[in-house]
Amino acid sequence: GEIVDMMGDKFKQDNVIYLSTKNLFSRKPFNDGGQGYEDLRKYIKQGNDFCKDIAAVMQERSELEAQYAKGLAKLAVKLFKSCKENPGTVAQSWTGVANQMEDECELHRSLSLCISDKVVKPLRINIEAQNKVRKSVETMVEKTARSLSDWRGSEIKSKKQSFGCNRQNEKIQDLLLDAKMGKGKILSEKDLSKLDNKRRKAEEAVRRSEQDYFTFCLRAERSRLDWVSAVQKGSNCFQTLEEERLQNLSDILERYNCFFRDLGPRLTKGSEHLSSFVSQCAVNSDLQSVIDMKKSLNSCPEQHLPDFYAENLSNLMSRNRRRETLNRFLILLKSDIDRERRGLAGVNNLAKALRETPNFGSEDSLQDVKDRLSHIRSMIAFFEAARFKLQKAYSELEGHQIPSHPLSKYIECVKDKQGICHSTLKVPNWFYEDDSSDLIEKLDEFTNRGTADGTSVQPDSDFDEFSSQGSDRDYQNEVIDPWIQQSSNYYVNGDKAEKCRALYDYDANLNDELSIRYGDIITIHDKQMSGWWYGELNGLFGIFPSTYVEEVK
């Protein structure tokens, strides 16, 4: 209900900036090819205006046939100007028409009728049809852009609310702690009870606001993907319109040339001169400029990552609550990543079936599958980058070595005037181009536990209140099973297995680790190169640091 209220109130907030259509693609957060789309839209509109110019010129030509030289000279000047302002071989070829107008100052009535019926009318029909398609594309892109702007505004509002709740919670927590320790003013039991109630309400407000903020982050990212998809589809439609427009102009120009060839010897000379311009029409060459503009849409997309209050160690927050908050979101992100990876595998199988069975799906189905793969990869990048930021904060909090991640160098963080961090991820092209198995292998390197010095600490699995799926058993299966499968080739009979004696006590930090005590005799099944050994003690299997034991004969 609070999310709905926030969406209803967002139009009343003075601090939320709604971008107009004019500058919608010229400033953040709409910089994922937005300027390229705007340039392409203007280019298509310029071509449409060029068609209108030609139609107007031909109509005037038809009406001014009777005046011959004066009328033709006037139109030649206008057509020269129009062709000069428009690039491409097709546009420049129309200068031949202007030259012919200057050379031929005498045309009869039949030519006027032919121009009106065979040139002007088809052009206007084509212009009207393309205008409808172009406006529908612009409306679609503008609608998705407006939706993205709305969600970004809601995201900013919920982020500020989340940070405010965290600050208020920390103040109440400090007051309650001082009261319990006898510092400051001595409070009665009734006042302590009231303060404790405020604490519980503040903690609930923190959890609710952080969940709302994360929800808005996800919706804003999905809205961004919808906008990117609309821009891509719109650019494809613009390319089709431009190809149709250029081909139509080329055909009409050829038809116009035929008119002059049929008028007899008087126009033969002018027709030959015009033919040289017609031969210069290169639709594919002109279309290349549109294709080049379209390539600018393939720049690295920029994702806005969530920045949690607990993630910034400079924000006031107790160590335990910060650790619990980081653990909670790490588990949530792991669940989301696993879900997206399963979705990626499913869509990959569908794409393979469509490629191997041509009659299984249409071209639209193949394109939809490609778009879905791109969307899933974008969401994986979003979750992976967010998880890396949290893992980095957790490592800094615990004093551990900061982990590495293939996306780390593409993450940028800036602070606003209030000191609040805003993180963005510029997703690299290889994230979309790499094979799925290679991509997952790269990302899996981030989950390596590190050196076997007994200090590896991973997020606890007790804080899963935000997770929509998964359990401790699932976590164990995902972590323990690969170790057992990898180690199965190294199992040996008990009478031949190597053994070791524990030199120090070690308490397991993860579900796949083995707790040992001084003097325990452990059967070794595998020695990992990372320094972790896999073994058995009292019927329990797990891994333990090799620096805590010594081998025995």
How far apart are alpha carbons 108 and 328 in whole angstroms?
Answer: 85
Locate 472 and state its tokens.
């401790």
Band (19; pLDDT cuts 50, 70, 90): very low
Locate 341 and state its tokens.
């990876």
Question: What does the pLDDT look like over 60-103, one tens digit per residue?
Answer: 888 877 677 777 788 888 888 888 888 888 888 888 788 777 77
Are 227 and 148 in contact by the 8 Å Cβ rule? The answer is yes
Per residue in 26-40, is it b (16+ CB within 10 Å) or e — as a string? eeebbbbbbbbbbeb
Helix axes 283-295, 189-262, angle to 10 degrees: 170
- Cα separation values, 151 from 38, 220, 320, 322, Å: 22, 5, 32, 28
pLDDT recorded at residue 474: 44
pLDDT recorded at residue 71: 79
Closest C-alpha to 120, from 71, 63, 43: 63
User: Diameter of the chain by CA atoms?
Assistant: 115
Q: Where are the domains of the chain?
A: 2-161+217-296, 303-447, 485-552
Residue 270 or 496, more confident? 270
Question: What does the pLDDT look like over 259-288, one tens digit per residue?
Answer: 877 777 776 776 777 777 788 788 888 788
Are 495 and 533 in contact by the 8 Å Cβ rule? The answer is no
Tell me the DSSP string of 226-284. Answer: HHHHHHHHHHHHHHHHHHHHHHHHHHHHHHHHHHHHHT-GGGHHHHHHHHHHHTT--HH
CATH class of 485-552: mainly beta
Locate 314 and state its tokens.
């400079």
Q: What values do phi and psi take at 479, rounded to 5?
A: -95, -45
Residue 21 or 315, more confident? 315
Mean pLDDT, range 331-354, rounded to an integer: 83
Q: Which residue has the tokens 């208020």?
A: 168
Question: What does the pLDDT look like over 169-228, one tens digit per residue?
Answer: 999 888 888 878 877 677 778 888 888 898 899 999 999 999 999 999 999 999 999 999
For the whole prediction, is pTM greater than 0.85? no
How far apart are alpha carbons 541 and 344 in whole angstroms?
Answer: 33
Band (362; pLDDT cuts 50, 70, 90): low
